[in-house]
Chain A
Amino acid sequence: MTQLPTPGANPAEPPPAEPIPPSRPARPRWRETLGLLARNPTAAVSAVVLVLIVLVALFDETLAPDGPNDQDQSIALQPPSWSHPFGTDEFGRDILSRVVLGAGTSLRVGFLSVAFALVVGTLIGLLAGFYGKWVDDVLMRLMDMLFAFPAVLLAIAVVAIRGTGPANAILAIGIVYVPIFARVTRASVLGVREEVYVRASRSIGASDFRLLTRHVLPNAAPPIIVQTSISLAFAVLAEAALSFLGLGPRRPNPSWGLMLADGRGFIEQAWWYSVFPGLAIVLTVLCFNLLGDGLRDVLDPRQRTLTAGSGR
């Protein structure tokens, strides 16, 4: 079914005679992005460190020198040594092993909660931005309500209602980030939906679904990708905060926030108890943030042209 072109509807359409830049990359865009990222030293190092952290989290059981819950009170609160590089806690558990196992918890909660927020938030933002009018009003006012709560407070409220545990921590943190993704997506979609290619596609009869998935979303994506990286940083931090408050995973299973909370009581006798989990949190959060910054530079079209241009 072909729709007839409406004559004179697009007077602003530039003549196609204008030459398309010949530098249109032959390689796919994601590879170009990676290439640019690699030339940003901070972002590149962050990405490498994050990959290492993810590997540690994936192979935690294999990498951990001891069982994370193995107790031996004869070696309680030992300072760092060759046999226990990060020292031991008050039960004689190896802190290195617990930090390694904690990586899994932190990253799992971080990734899954951001994934939840990404899917739900992006969908809401996409619909709100694309359809506008009352859809926009209803959805975004709902998001404003969520956004009005301080993040950690909202997360605590969710955990208070649903109970503690990793699944609920994921949900709690995820809900907190939904409005952020919704807003970022909506703002980006608002810019994209009036673009010529969208209107062109609509004019040849593309369905809303096709418009959204093929044209709007891919072109609205860069800010969402940046937001994802930054949100991951905050999600890891939020997970630590919830665990610290005792709302995360159950003891005796390790989590960075929980170790920080437990180590706090021993700060005078055993600095290593809270310092190493603390460093793990700092490193992960810092890397996600730096990577997010790098991605922002790389994905920004204006910046992109500049960097790409100077790079050649």
Chain B
Amino acid sequence: MRTTRLLPLLTAGVLLLASCGGGEDVDTGGGGGGGDNVLVAAVAAQPDQFDPHATTAYASFQVLENVYDTLIVPNPDDLTMEPSLAESWETSEDGLTWTFTLRDGVTFHDGSEFDSADVVYSYRRIIDEELANSYRFATVADIAAPDPRTVVITLTQPTPNLLEQIGAFKGMSIVSENAAEEFDLQTEANGTGPFRLESSDANSTVLTAYEDYWDGAPSVDGVEFRYISEGTAALTALQNGEVQWTDNVPPQNIESLADDDSVELGSATSVEYYYLSLNYDRAPFDNPQVRRAIATALDREEIAQAARFGAAQPNQTAIPEGSAYYLDYAPYTPDEDAARQLIEQSGVPTPITLGLMVTDEDAESVAAAQVIASQLEPIGVNVEIEEEDLATWLDREAQGDMDSFLFSWIGNIDPADFYEQQHLSTGGSNYQGYSNPQVDDLLTRASTETDQAARKDLYDQAARIIVDDASYIYLFNPDVVQAWAPGLTGYTIRADAAINFENVELP
């Protein structure tokens, strides 16, 4: 029940420092060019698996983005929804029936035709097996395929963000009918995307171009995702021409890269957000004044500066500036005295010891935690930074075994993705134990509100309360920063950090 966690861009694994090799040929499966026209992309981490419906790891979606399609996709420039496997769609008057007309002439990588049965199978798999994204279908009553080119989704209540729910990312991919029986989807793939999954091992994942792709074969013969966890090593590989693209750019290098001719740098404000949250189940952190005191004591500019070296936008809400759903609301001004007063009013004796759980696989978290520790000390809150590996971190979070936790979510596109699961009393990712009936009411109403302006207004109201209650203490939206070889064209850097190599051309 979670949107994607951004996997660490910088891990501390010393043994992984070196990732070498280069220039090995990739079998393009009957193509002429051999290995010369293969894009080598350095990514930070190895995918945990390739089942699009089961994984929640960003490292997996980096690959799957290029292998699978969804009915609808976000436009790379402004993330509005546009046709992909569905050519068109219409909504009934009452908003309860959505009819999608599917594209003709689409084939899966195994050669089979794509039709409505594949869509029904894929969506039923997510719902019936309660896979990672089944909550996105919470309002879906039925999925029917009256004919091979038509899919009808019936809803129990109006769902204005249905397109975002089924199209925002590749967790909602269309797999071929019975794919889970015919393939081992953990390690194999049978999609309709521009590339087929060729092989994957501990060093890299190799994709080859799918010549019969419905939108035209990709320009490159293949893509090799090479795992280089160390950002400095990934950059060096790019500068040496060993790789042609990387998203593993250490933030401290961004400034110097701007005048580096051997590298082209792209950046965009992302839909990712960093937050700090305190556990409501542990006194005195359930005290609203203590929560507000901490929110007031933090200087987000400084935190963003230390964590991202300026490649981030401080924010007191989740949704980044630039999104249609952005809310300009910043009630907290960094103020030590005001924070100290709040703590005095709360009657909680100082010093308060606050365990702050971060994962050591995310350098930004570790840096932010150290700044927070130094900012909270003057108001009588002694922060003990607890660094855990990601698996332990997630485990402790799920069990509520922490005073406070700090990390990031990729919020995707729709405001529901930013607020619902994290702040509804019954939300699947509400690990802090927040419960405010007013917020529950607003979020529930917003999820069925079909009028866009009214919907934004409901989310704005909910966000204000969430920020005031400090359910999450929002910190900043990091920029997506990626670098590639000069002359590489056809690639668009996107706010949702999805990476798509369909139209990439090598220099």
Residues of A at under 8 Å CB distance from B?
Answer: 69-71, 73, 76, 90-91, 164, 244-246, 250-252, 261, 264-269
Contacts and interface: CB of A to CB of B under 8 A. Distances in A.
A250 B355 CA distance: 12
B410 interface: no
Given A251-B369, A265-B363, 7 more contacts: A76-B306, A91-B371, A246-B360, A246-B387, A250-B385, A250-B386, A269-B256
A71 B232 contact: no
Query: What 10 A-B pairs have minimum CB-CB distances, sorted nearest first?
Result: A71-B374, A252-B370, A246-B360, A251-B385, A246-B12, A73-B302, A265-B250, A250-B385, A91-B306, A73-B305
Interface string B339-379: 00000000000000000000010010011011101100000
10 contacts: A71-B370, A73-B302, A90-B306, A245-B12, A246-B12, A252-B385, A264-B232, A265-B232, A268-B232, A268-B256
A73 B306 contact: yes
Given A265-B363, A268-B256, A251 B232 contact: no
B452 interface: no
B366 to A, nearest CB: 7
A164 B387 contact: yes
A299 to B, nearest CB: 37
A267 B253 CA distance: 10
A309 B10 CA distance: 60
B252 A269 contact: yes
Nearest to B253: A268
Is the contact region of chain A dominated by helix, strand, or loop, or is it mixed? loop
B360 to A, nearest CB: 5
B370 A251 contact: yes
A268 B12 CA distance: 17
B48 to A, nearest CB: 20
B232 to A, nearest CB: 6
Interface in B239-270: 250, 252-253, 256
A251 to B, nearest CB: 5
Contacts of A267: 232
A71 B306 CA distance: 10
Contacts of B20: none
Interface centre among A69, A261, A265 (most CB of B within 10 A): A265
B142 interface: no
A291 to B, nearest CB: 29
A265 B252 contact: yes
B395 to A, nearest CB: 14
Is the contact region of chain B dominated by helix, strand, or loop, or is it mixed? helix
A70 B374 CA distance: 7
Contacts of B250: 265
Given A73-B305, A90-B306, A252-B373, A266 B387 contact: no
Contacts of B14: 244-245, 261
B411 interface: no
A270 to B, nearest CB: 9
A91 B374 contact: yes
Contacts of A250: 384-387
Contacts of A70: 374
A245 B387 CA distance: 11
B231 interface: yes
B410 to A, nearest CB: 23
B299 to A, nearest CB: 9
A64 to B, nearest CB: 16
Contacts of B252: 90, 265-266, 269
Contacts of A91: 306, 367, 370-371, 374
Contacts of B366: 251
B253 A71 contact: no
A221 B363 CA distance: 47
Interface string B375-406: 00000000011110000000000000000000
Nearest to A92: B306
Contact of B10 (A90, A245, A246, A265): A265
A16 B3 CA distance: 88
A71 B309 CA distance: 15
Contact of B371 (A71, A244, A266, A268): A71
A70 B387 CA distance: 20
Contacts of A90: 252, 306, 309, 367
Interface string B179-219: 00000000000000000000000000000000000000000
Nearest to A71: B374
Nearest to A67: B374
Contacts of B302: 73
B256 A251 contact: no
Contacts of B12: 245-246, 261
Nearest to A265: B250
A269 B374 CA distance: 24
A171 B376 CA distance: 32
B29 to A, nearest CB: 39
Contacts of B374: 69-71, 91, 252
Contacts of A252: 370, 373-374, 385
Contacts of B10: 265
A264 B229 CA distance: 13
A91 B371 CA distance: 8
B256 A265 contact: no
